[in-house]
Amino acid sequence: MRARDIVAAVEEFAPLGLQEKWDNSGLCVGSPDQEVHGVLLGLDCTPALVDEAVAAGADMIVTHHPLIFGSLKSVRPEDPVGLALIKAIRAGIAVYASHTPSDKVLAGVSGAMARRLGLADIRILEPEGDGETGLGAVGVWREPLSADAAL
């Protein structure tokens, strides 16, 4: 399997084209053609997560938040982003993020949280375009819930 196959699987449910203009989702380290035998999932690509990927024998990390956000002025080991980049590159680990694309589909982060909370009639909170995508998710409790119980 190649990194492009993992990217295609993620983008099948959360297309990269959904990302906000300010976002930096996508493949930020590695080549789409590199071989992948194991994938580690995480929220943020930290130096510790890269160490965990190395220990697990993973060739790719898929995170929610992009490793590189904004302008990158330097890559130095004193900086957590720089250190994660250095470690990933040295280990040959591809790094892919799906931030706002995963936020904009019900199969993604907000929808998963709504389902985990047991909400029914889940829909996009702020629909865009055809209404099938957008930020957030909203639903209803299956049974009435008091404000005290919700807190």
CA 49 to chain centre: 14
In the predicted structure, residue 150 carries a pLDDT above the cut 90: no
What is the reported pLDDT for 141? 86
Phi-psi region of 121 (alpha: psi -120 to 50; beta: other; left: phi over 0): left
Q: For the domain 3-101, what is the CATH superfamily, name and number?
A: NIF3 (NGG1p interacting factor 3)-like (3.40.1390.30)
pTM of the model: 0.88
Taking only the tens place, the pLDDT of each residue in 86-134 is 999 999 999 999 999 999 999 899 999 999 988 999 999 999 988 889 9
Say what angle helices 47-56 and 80-91 make with each other, to 10 degrees.
Answer: 20
* Phi/psi at 142 (5° precision): -70, -30
Q: 36 versus 149: which is more confidently predicted?
A: 36
Segment (H or E) for 61: strand 60-63
How far apart (Å, rounded) are the C-alpha atoms in residues 104 and 109?
Answer: 8
Residues of the chain with CATH 3.40.1390.30: 3-101
